[in-house]
Amino acid sequence: MTRTFRQALSYLLAVGVVIGLWWGVSWLLETIREREILPTPGVTFAAAVENIGTLASAFGTSALRFLIALAVAFLLGLPLGLAVGFERRLDQYLSPLIYLLYPMPPVALLLFLYLAFGLGEVVRLVVVVMALFFQVVVAAQGAAKYIVPSHVTAVRSAGATRWQIYRHVVLPATLPSVLTAARVSVGLGITMLYIAETKLGVLLGPGGGLGRFIEYYTFRGDISLAGVVGLALLGLLFYVVLELLERFLCRWKFVGARGGA
Amino acid sequence: MIEVDGLTVVYGRGETSVPAVAGLSMEVDTYELVSVVGPSGCGKSTLLFVLAGLLRPTAGRVRVHGEEVRGVRRDVALILQDAGLLPWKTVRQNAELALRLQGRKDSADQVLADLGLAGFEKRYPSELSEGMKRRVGIARALALQPRVMLMDEPTANLDSITREHIQNLILGLWWEMGFTGVLVTHDMEEAVFLGRRIYVLSARPARVAEVIENPGMGEPGYRGTPEFAAQVAHLRQVLGGNGA
Ligand SMILES: Nc1ncnc2c1ncn2[C@@H]1O[C@H](COP(=O)(O)OP(=O)(O)O)[C@@H](O)[C@H]1O
Ligand SMILES: [Mg+2]
């Protein structure tokens, strides 16, 4: 309990520091350029309150979109990554392919994605899924390559089927590093979400996602900035959720003298 | 009853192939406990993996209870070197792992209690001492109530007090449960303490260099007798002369 409390306190402190810095930069820019450039936290907060309905709707839409994309990326990427990392034959044939596609930014393909999927909801999800999918695949593959052989022998010696080997060894052994990788990828995912909602979201109203909200109010710096803060909070939310998920699903990592082994 | 006839195991193929076992033959009677001793890396674990049905022989035959071994058998349990516990499973889940994989609903609580692990069922392996981990590994095998028990260096890397404790435990279990056992070790005293017969293996690739009869084995008190010391000295001589 005290640990949770201390953690909450440190997050609160971080928020305070960020607001302080923000305010400082705002003030500095205004002094140097002699006009308002970056709206202050107070002004932004007021703009957020004023547009709370639209902002909340944009936040909710973005959060749902990101959640779906994350789930799809896991559902598709985890089995593929684990199989490629664990089955030596697949590793041989599919690894070069994955590493060829992995560094390719989906943003570069926006035109083709748009032509293929149109401007509907699907294309926005595809962009985010593509980015997260490769992160999950590469993390899962890397972790599955270094499974301890005696763990596999332990279940094989009891007559485990292929499926049981995955269920009892490969998946639980790799889950911590896959979740950590997913947490690290939240930043990238949020960026892709922003791009999807701006470049591929021109038909949406301001409540159709935080990216669209920010773009819609381009000429109202204070409202637009409130949307940016929303995007940052969205990233933080998923970061925290993934961390809690790891603590819950990988409890064994957090016990024992050396915190698991 | 275990019969091994001309067993040869070669890892890999071509130029990088590693012969691990070369024409090894041995026999273990029903309810007999034998020890297999040999230098590190000579092919002891490989031999056990073949007996457990995890590895196909390159040549030769292996039979358990008169049947050719073609895969994992439900009446054979293997205790892995370093116990092979899964860190993400609790003590109870680890002990019941083999049961669950075979679709059996039995509880391992009694076995855990018998091995002095009551109260630790919900702990994870990283919270246990090395000796306790080995006992969980033994519990996992015992829970299956196997007719054949294969043990791969069950006391390696333990301090001497814990090692003797586990050795006494294995001896007691053998009396109580009456399994057919093969115990692999590189510890000479362990080989003498727990082997009714002692198979001495050569350096890699493993073949049987000598079989030592050890009729005094079977009592915990055997360890302190001059007979025991003489057998250990003899074994040391055999292993030394063997270039190990
Ligand atoms: N999967 C494998 N591929 C290639 N060589 C192996 C493999 N497993 C074991 N070996 C080699 O076979 C030999 C015997 O190994 P092992 O049976 O584990 O020895 P021991 O248990 O007696 O220490 C060793 O030289 C080891 O390096
Ligand atoms: Mg070994």
Instruction: Verify whether the Cβ–Cβ distance B102 to A158 is below 8 Å.
Output: yes
Q: Give per-residue pLDDT as tens, B108-138.
A: 999 999 999 999 999 999 999 999 999 999 9
Q: Give per-residue pLDDT as tens, B70-116.
A: 999 999 999 999 889 999 999 999 999 999 999 999 999 999 999 99
b/e map A80-119, b = 16+ CB within 10 Å: bbbbbbbeeeebeebeeebeeeeeeebeeebeebeeebee
Are the CB atoms for A113 and A106 separated by under 8 Å? yes
Instruction: Flag whether residue B113 sits within 8 Å of chain A, measured between CB atoms.
Output: no
The first and second tokens of residue A73, run together, are: 């990326």
Q: Give per-residue pLDDT as tens, B32-73.
A: 999 999 988 899 999 999 999 999 999 999 999 999 999 999
In this structure, which residue's CA is closest to atom 12 in ligand 1? B20
Q: Give per-residue pLDDT as tens, A168-205.
A: 999 999 999 999 999 999 999 999 999 999 988 888 88
DSSP 8-state symbol, B55: S
pTM of the full structure: 0.88
- Orientation angle between helical segments A221-249 and A52-86, nearest 10 degrees: 40
Q: How far apart are CA B55 and CA B11, in angstroms?
A: 10
Are the CB atoms for B157 and B130 separated by under 8 Å? yes
Q: Give per-residue pLDDT as tens, A1-55.
A: 677 888 889 889 988 999 999 999 999 999 998 888 899 999 999 999 999 999 9
ipTM score for this prediction: 0.90
Please give the interface size between A and B, counted as residue pairs whose CB atoms are below 8 Å apart: 74
* Alpha-carbon distances of B65 from B11, B60, B98, B148, B196, rounded to whole Å: 27, 17, 21, 10, 19
Smallest Cβ–Cβ distance between A255 and the set B78, B82, B127 belongs to: B127
Residue A71 binned pLDDT confidence (cut-offs 50, 70, 90): very high
Q: Does ligand 1 come within 6 angstroms of the Cβ of B221?
A: no
3-class secondary structure, B41: coil
Ordered by start, the domain boundaries in chain B are 1-75+186-244
Q: Does ligand 1 come within 6 angstroms of the Cβ of B240?
A: no
CATH class, range B1-75+186-244: alpha beta
* Ordered structural domains, chain A, with CATH: 58-251 (1.10.3720.10)
Q: How far apart are CA A116 and CA A219, in angstroms?
A: 32
Which residues on chain A place their C-beta less than 8 Å from a C-beta of chain B? 150-151, 153-160, 164, 168-169, 172-173, 250-252, 255-261
Q: Does ligand 1 come within 6 angstroms of the Cβ of B144?
A: no
Nearest CA to B138 among B181, B76, B95, B183? B95
b/e map A10-26, b = 16+ CB within 10 Å: eeeeeeeeebeebeeeb
Helix residue ranges per DSSP H, A51-199: 52-86, 88-101, 110-117, 121-145, 149-156, 162-165, 171-184, 186-199
DSSP 8-state symbol, A208: S
Share of chain B above pLDDT 70, in %: 99
Q: How far apart are CA A172 and CA A169, in angstroms?
A: 6
The sign of the dihedral angle between the CA atoms of B105, B51, B81, A171 is: negative
Residue A6: in which H helix or E strand, if any?
helix A2-33
* Alpha-carbon distances of A256 from A166, A197, A260, B124, rounded to whole Å: 25, 45, 5, 8
